[in-house]
Every structure is written in structure tokens, then in C-alpha cells.
Amino acid sequence: MDSDAIHPVDRPEARLSAVVLNVALVFPYPVMPLLIGGAADARGYEDSQLGLISAAFMGGFALVNLLGILWVRRYDWKALTKLASIAAALSLAVPIFLPGFGILLGALFIAGIAGGMVVGLTLASLGDTREPEVNFAWAWVLQMVVGITVSYSLPRLVAAEQMLNVTLGFLACFALIAMPFIRWLPRTGRKSASATSSTSSVAPSSASIVLVGLMVIVLVFIAEGGVWTFFERIGNAKGFGREFIGTVIATQFIGATIGSLSAALTGTRFGRVGPVTVAVTGCIVSVVIFQLGTGSAAFLIGGFLYGWAWNYGSPYRMALVADADVTGRFVTMIPAMQAMGAAIGPALAGFVIVGGSFLYVYVAASLAWMSALALFIWANQELHSLRRASDPATPKEA
């Protein structure tokens, strides 16, 4: 049997461990609306303060992953994950008992660092597997399923004034409950040995592919984040009520879950360019529907398509970076790039909303998607050219 087939990162229990830990420690972001709403209801924070709550978590999350090149391949993954999981759980629990705004921000910043570290490690592990597209997709599937369940049930079970503390408590418990899965997490990855050499050993062509792949992720999240952030306002401008808009948002999550599941089932059967092209096309068609559609059915269909396309293409874009990253040290920059795009997109979108019209938001997003697709195609072709140069038996598309 090929030794690669039995590498620790490829074992089913190792992949399950990485998926569960990834979801458990990234989860403050999917439920951030519950945290922000709870903070407003329970503690009366102003809008400017509420914005800082999300920024605190995402700031820590992005910072630790931007520095991932310094640590992700140097230390024992199990030990780091244990320490980070405990730190995340404790920091999320502290604001329940010490209700100060500064304490909440500091706690979420620490939780972002700790959670970001675990997410970076698990992405490195999944990125080292033989089929990173499939394994990244399963992580997105589980994230969406848990997100739908929690976002739907907590507001119906918990009073508004208790939402902040209950959500913080849930997140802390989630981090602790996931810890038993650490036993199956590999201590190092397939690429860890190559990371002992200096970064100068990375071929310039391979490094450029990684850089372009990361740029693709930023562009996609700028586009998707800009539309997503203002989605409630888009529905409101069309005259839809809050309940219907909420239904469409839930439909988006369902579409996103099916999109991730589609990627997991498709795998590399159609290569990478084909699925990413379909995903970008779906995103552009969805915003055309948002602009031109007039009825509730059109808005619902557009929302479902938007969620499906977003998540269908994501695993392939992540896998391209993981595949081109021969040292395995740059893969932790994926969540950092996602966070960066998610911050830039809404800021840019806010400047191009004119007279309540979101037309220029859609145009800007479409240009970003098309630019990302062009760069993705180039990077994918370059990667396979490198593979064919080193091994002529390598297929043209994989």
C-alpha cells in the first residue's frame, strides 16, 4: 500500500477531528449576530461599540493566522490545540461573570487568537490530505448545519436579555466539548518536514501561485461580504418585511449547506476550474436576480442560489492554496485573507450605495468575482504546469 495513503492526516478519525475542532473554534463568527444583538439588549451598547465586538474577535483571528508561517509547522499540533481550546473557553466565559465592555472586547480578542490558532492548525491538517477540497467542504457543511440549528433555536428558547450570556456560555462549552477529538489530531502534517527549511527554498513560481491564490480568496470575500452585510437592507429596499427577509436568510444558509455538500460529493471529478466557474456564475446570476427581480419568489430563489454558489466554490479555492503551498506554512493565511476580505467588502460597499440603490454594489461584486476567476484559472494552470514539468505523467487538470 502507498505510504501516503496511511499518513496520519488521511485517517478518517484525523479528518473528523480536524473538521469538528475547526467548526467548534470558528463558531463565534457564524453566531456573531446573536452576540451583538444580545449585547445591545442586555447591556445597551451603542452601535459604535457593537461594531467593535465583531472587530475584536476577527482582529485576533486574523492576526494569529497572518503570523501562522512562524508557528504552524514548528510545534506539536495536539499540544497547541489543547492550550488554545482551553484559552478560548475561559476567555469566552469571563464576560459572563465580569460584565464590562473593555473586558468583553479583550476576552473576544483572546478568543479570536485562540480560535484562530485552532482553525489554522486544522486547515493545515485538512490541507495536507489527499483530497483537501472534499475535507474543506465537510468542514463547511458541519459549520452550516450547526449554524442553522443554533441561529434558529437560541432566539426561540432564550430571552433577549439573556442572549449574550447564553451564547457566550454555549461557545465556551462547545470549545470544551470538542476537546476529546484532539486525541485523533495528528501531531504534525505531511508537509511539516519541508517546513524546517527556510522560506527561500520555496520555488518562486510556487510562491507566486500561493500569493495569487490568497488574492483570489480576498477578492471573493470582498464581493460576497459586501453583498451579505447589506442583505437585510437589500430586502428592505424591495419592500419585504423582516420576517420574510429572515426566512430568505435561513434559505441562504440551507443553500450554503447544500453547496458545501455538493463540493464534498463532487470532489475533483470535474477538476477545480469547472466548479469555481459554476460558483462564480451562480453568484453573478444571483445578484442579477436581486437587481431585476420584483417578487418574493425571485428574492427567495436568488438568496438560495447566492448561498449555494458561495459555499460550492470555497473548498476549491482553499485547496488550490493548500496544494501550491509546498511548505504548508502559508495555509493558515487562508482564514486571515477571508477575514480581511470580509472587512474590506462591507466598507467598500457602503461607499457605492447611491440613493438606496444597490446596483453599484452588484457591479463591484461581479467585477471582483470575475477578476478572482481569471486569477484562479491562471494559478491553477501554473500549478499544473509545474507538476507536469516535474512529472510528465501528471494530468492536465486535477
For residues 165 and 221, what is the distance between their CA atoms, to the nearest angstrom?
30
pLDDT at 172: 95
For residues 224 and 255, what is the distance between their CA atoms, to the nearest angstrom?
14
How would you label 210-245 residue by residue, b for 16+ Cβ within 10 Å and e otherwise? bebbbbbbbbbbbbbbbbbbbbeebbeebebeeeeb
Task: Let me know if residue 143 belongs to a domain.
Answer: yes
Task: Let me know if residue 397 belongs to a domain.
Answer: no
Reported as a single tens digit per residue, the pLDDT across 156-165 is 788 878 888 9
Residue 255's nearest CA partner among 307, 314, 310 is 307
pLDDT at 242: 65
- Cell 491553477 sits at which residue? 380
For residues 183 and 114, what is the distance between their CA atoms, to the nearest angstrom?
18
Give yes or no: residues 142 and 220 share one domain: no
Task: Let me know if residue 260 belongs to a domain.
Answer: yes
Concatenated DSSP letters of 324-340: H-SSS-STTHHHHHHHH
Q: Cell numbers of 373, please?
A: 476567476
Task: Let me know if residue 396 belongs to a domain.
Answer: no
Which of 177, 192, 207 finishes a domain? 192
Give yes or no: residues 360 and 308 share one domain: yes
Cα Rg of the chain, angstroms: 21
Give yes or no: residues 329 and 371 share one domain: yes
Give yes or no: residues 68 and 155 share one domain: yes
Task: Let me know if residue 27 belongs to a domain.
Answer: yes
* pLDDT top residue among 331 and 113: 113
pLDDT surpassing 50 at residue 2: no
Question: Which domain range does residue 178 map to?
Answer: 3-192
Reported pTM: 0.73
Reported as a single tens digit per residue, the pLDDT across 101-125 is 899 999 999 999 999 999 989 988 9
* pLDDT top residue among 177 and 8: 177
pLDDT surpassing 60 at residue 4: no
Give yes or no: residues 181 and 209 share one domain: no
Give yes or no: residues 88 and 15 share one domain: yes
* pLDDT > 70 in the chain, percent: 91
At 107, which CATH number? 1.20.1250.20
The count of structural domains within the chain is 2
Q: Cell numbers of 35, please?
A: 452576540
Lowest mean pLDDT among 24-28, 133-137, 291-295, 392-396: 392-396
Q: Are 219 and 371 in contact (CB under 8 A)?
A: yes
pLDDT at 204: 58
Task: Let me know if residue 366 belongs to a domain.
Answer: yes
Give the angle subtended at the CA of 15 by the CAs of 266 and 274, to the nearest 5°. 20
Reported as a single tens digit per residue, the pLDDT across 5-43 is 567 888 999 999 999 999 999 888 777 777 877 887 888
Task: Let me know if residue 356 belongs to a domain.
Answer: yes
DSSP letter for 161, please.
Answer: G
For residue 256, the one-letter residue type is A
For residues 80 and 47, what is the distance between their CA atoms, to the nearest angstrom?
36
Give yes or no: residues 205 and 149 share one domain: no
pLDDT at 234: 83
